[in-house]
């Protein structure tokens, strides 16, 4: 079983819709979770960090964490074509992040 | 977010030569820096974890004598690819972590070995 799992996609949504990206992790003791966005040919960019159960909102982005289910998600409201990228879920292990393979999001105009 | 710079952004070198890549955290002191490699259409692969003033911790399968890491200060880490070969051609990315373990990535270095 992979430590951090994401659906590779692509997830296709129309402009203006809500994109929902999901991630599950195997280490029940994990406490810190991160979402990164990576455009093709570029390095990852930190979007959100979340440490407590529940929702955390930042602009159009909402991260949701459910430690009991070992599940973390990222919602993108009012999706824009510029949101088209690969979204990486990362879970803090021992001093280092464990990344999922990423979900490719395509937002069509 | 924090700013991490990386230099050079792109380098082409001949097989057998060495290449040094610099990573700097510009606006915060990084407790730990990391070096990743990413091949086309593949996910990030952690190569090593670097703490200031101590030896780097390499991931399994990464040759420490080939990929030399020096972490001279809380804001600077360097990766030297020694005796580079075409199979070392890749996108090398560093990151710097703050005290909340948030990692901020540099823009990456695209290495091509001919």
pLDDT digits (tens, 9 = 90+) for B38-63: 998 888 999 999 988 888 999 999 99
Cross-chain residue pair B101–A42, CB shorter than 8 Å: no
Distances (CA, A) of B37 to A81, A90, B33, B79, B100: 28, 16, 14, 11, 23
Contacts of B76 (CB under 8 A, 6+ apart): B22, B23, B24
CB contacts < 8 Å between A and B, how many? 43
**Exposed, middle or buried: residue B71 (CB in 10 Å: 0-12, 13-18, 19+)?**
buried
Chain A positions in Cβ-Cβ contact with residue B43 (cut-off 8 Å): 88, 99-102
How far is A78 from B85, CA to CA, in rounded Å? 46
Structure confidence by residue, pLDDT tens digits, A65-98: 999 999 999 999 999 999 999 999 999 988 789 9
| Stretches in chain B below the pLDDT threshold 70 | 1
Nearest CA in chain A to B36: A43
Chain B positions in Cβ-Cβ contact with residue A92 (cut-off 8 Å): 101
Nearest CA in chain A to B9: A42
Query: Average pLDDT, stretch A61-67?
Result: 97
How far is A60 from B17, CA to CA, in rounded Å? 47
In 3-state terms chain B splits into helix, strand, coil percentages (rounded to 5) of: 5, 55, 45
How far is B43 from B78, CA to CA, in rounded Å? 22
A97 touches chain B (CB under 8 A): yes
């Amino acid at each position: 079983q992979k430590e951090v799992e994401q659906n590779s996609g692509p997830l296709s949504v129309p402009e203006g819709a809500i994109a929902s990206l999901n991630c599950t992790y195997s280490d029940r003791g994990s406490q810190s979770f991160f979402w990164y966005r990576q455009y093709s040919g570029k390095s990852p960019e930190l979007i959100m960090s979340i440490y407590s159960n529940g929702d955390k909102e930042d602009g159009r982005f909402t991260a949701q964490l459910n430690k009991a289910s070992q599940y973390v998600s990222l919602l993108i409201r009012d999706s824009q074509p510029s949101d088209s990228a690969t979204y990486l879920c990362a879970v803090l292990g021992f001093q280092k992040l464990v990344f999922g393979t990423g979900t490719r999001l395509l937002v069509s105009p | 977010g924090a700013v991490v710079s990386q230099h050079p952004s792109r380098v082409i070198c001949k097989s057998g030569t060495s290449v040094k890549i610099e990573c700097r955290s510009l606006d915060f002191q990084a407790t730990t820096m990391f070096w990743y490699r990413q091949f086309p259409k593949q996910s990030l692969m952690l190569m090593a974890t670097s703490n200031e003033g101590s030896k780097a911790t390499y991931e399994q399968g990464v040759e420490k004598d080939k990929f030399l890491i020096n972490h001279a200060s809380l804001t600077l880490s360097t990766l030297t690819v020694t005796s580079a070969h075409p199979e070392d051609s890749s996108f090398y990315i560093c990151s710097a972590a703050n005290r909340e373990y948030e990692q901020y990535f540099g823009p990456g270095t695209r290495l091509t070995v001919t």
